[in-house]
């Protein structure tokens, strides 16, 4: 049975079995009965002390989190989930005004990951928005719910400020100038996605998103109270349970390259469940398309030769999008030859 509606949100409530196009091969299913305990030890780092008396300790904590986990959580409060839930609660006809399967569109509602190329669909709908510079994109955003543009714009501004603060801290933790990564990203880019995972009648057969590493510099994730995010840590898939009033921050492929493999972009995935809808809102902070990405020269020496060739972010992202989500990270395609 194949999906008969363009969006999973509208299909899911009409079926009691997972359609065949969502069912993953037997060897590539979640194995829910084998899940390991939650990853309660991901560091929670309060960045408010940056620039104060605890500055050095916070930088050390960030370095440890990046080296050991690739993920860390940061305390902050946001109301973004409310307007996101309102959007996905709109009538189908209203939501479909934003639907497109064209990945070049800077504002679009779609489903799965890349419906034009993938063989197995993912149990997810998403609204993706370009957010920087705001004035270039805000008029494209949905006008309904009425507060959507205002609420998301405010959130995006805060995420940009937080991203810049994090990039400075990560640069410093690598022993680089505080503005090194900032400059390396060129004019910068910022995207936001609102991911909606409806309840799934057979969650053991499919994923919300399969294992992948993020192609950007850093991702700042806000999620509702329903667990689903898993991180590959020490060869095991561990659940990152939601913590109220926190973000989850993970290192993307571009930081791995700039750090010359000091810091790793971590494989993660999204599970679904049969009882509750799950929402996640990642902010993707990335280089501008023409930015030239390469290992920081200060991190290259005889003992640590350059692990990657130079490339533009546009080259990188095109390969990432065309190959789809994969356990074999796209960053390996740019490895320097011995």
Kindly give the confidence (pLDDT) of every residue in the chain, 338 residues in length, as a single tens digit, with 9 standing for 90 and above. 345 688 999 999 899 999 999 999 998 898 876 655 565 557 777 766 677 777 888 888 887 776 666 655 554 355 788 899 999 999 999 999 999 988 889 999 999 988 877 889 999 999 999 999 999 999 999 999 999 999 999 899 989 998 999 999 999 999 999 999 999 999 999 999 999 999 999 999 999 999 999 999 999 998 889 999 999 888 889 888 888 777 888 999 999 999 999 999 989 999 999 999 999 999 999 999 999 999 999 999 999 999 999 999 999 998 888 777 766 678 889 999 86
Q: What DSSP designation does 27 have?
A: G
Q: Are 48 and 243 in contact (CB under 8 A)?
A: no
108 vs 129: CA distance, rounded Å: 7
* Strand partners for 108: 128
Go through the domains of the chain in sequence order and give each one's CATH number: 8-334 (2.60.120.330)
Rounded-to-integer distance, Cα 145 and Cα 133, Å? 22
What are the b/e assignments for 215-236, b being 16+ CB within 10 Å? bbbbbbbbbbebbbbbbbbeee
- The H or E element spanning position 323 is helix 313-323
Is 305 within 8 Å of 259 (Cβ atoms)? no
Q: Which pLDDT score, from 0 to 100, does residue 62 have?
A: 80
Query: Residue 317: exposed, middle, or buried by beta-carbon count in 10 A (0-12, 13-18, 19+)?
Result: buried
Residue 77: count other Cβ atoms within 10 Å of its Cβ. 7
Confidence (pLDDT) at 107? 97
Three-state SS at 193: strand
φ/ψ (deg, to 5) at 194:
-110, 110
Q: Which two tokens stand for residue 87?
A: 């959007």
pLDDT for the residue numbered 33: 67
The pLDDT value given to residue 2: 47
């Amino acid at each position: 049975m194949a999906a008969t509606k363009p969006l999973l949100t509208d299909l899911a409530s009409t079926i009691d079995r997972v359609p065949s196009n969502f069912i993953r091969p037997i060897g590539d299913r979640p194995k829910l009965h084998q899940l390991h305990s939650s990853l309660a030890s991901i560091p929670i780092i309060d960045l408010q002390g940056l620039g104060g008396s605890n500055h050095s300790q916070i930088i050390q904590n960030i370095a440890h989190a990046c080296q050991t986990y690739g993920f860390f959580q940061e305390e902050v409060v946001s109301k973004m989930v409310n307007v996101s839930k309102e959007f996905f609660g709109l009538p189908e006809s209203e939501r479909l005004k934003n639907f497109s399967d064209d990945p070049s569109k800077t504002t679009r509602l779609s489903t799965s990951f890349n419906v034009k190329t993938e063989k197995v669909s993912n149990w997810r709908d998403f609204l993706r928005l370009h957010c920087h510079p705001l004035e270039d994109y805000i008029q494209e955003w949905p006008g309904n719910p009425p507060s959507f543009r205002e609420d998301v714009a405010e959130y995006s501004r805060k995420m940009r400020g937080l991203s810049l603060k994090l990039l400075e801290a990560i640069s410093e933790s690598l022993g680089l100038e505080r503005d090194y990564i900032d400059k390396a990203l060129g004019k910068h880019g910022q995207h936001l996605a609102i991911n909606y995972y409806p309840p799934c009648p057979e969650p053991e057969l499919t994923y919300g998103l399969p294992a992948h590493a993020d192609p950007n510099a850093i991702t700042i994730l806000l999620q509702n109270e329903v667990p689903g995010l898993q991180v590959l840590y020490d060869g095991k898939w561990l659940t990152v349970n939601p913590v109220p009033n926190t973000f989850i921050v993970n290192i993307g492929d571009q930081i791995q390259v700039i750090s010359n493999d000091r810091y790793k972009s971590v494989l993660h995935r999204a599970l679904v469940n049969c009882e509750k809808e799950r929402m996640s809102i990642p902010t993707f902070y990335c280089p501008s398309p023409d930015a030239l990405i390469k290992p920081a020269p200060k991190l290259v020496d005889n003992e640590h030769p350059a692990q990657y060739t130079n490339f533009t972010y546009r080259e990188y992202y095109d390969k990432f999008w065309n190959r789809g989500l994969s356990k074999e990270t796209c960053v390996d395609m740019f490895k320097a030859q011995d």
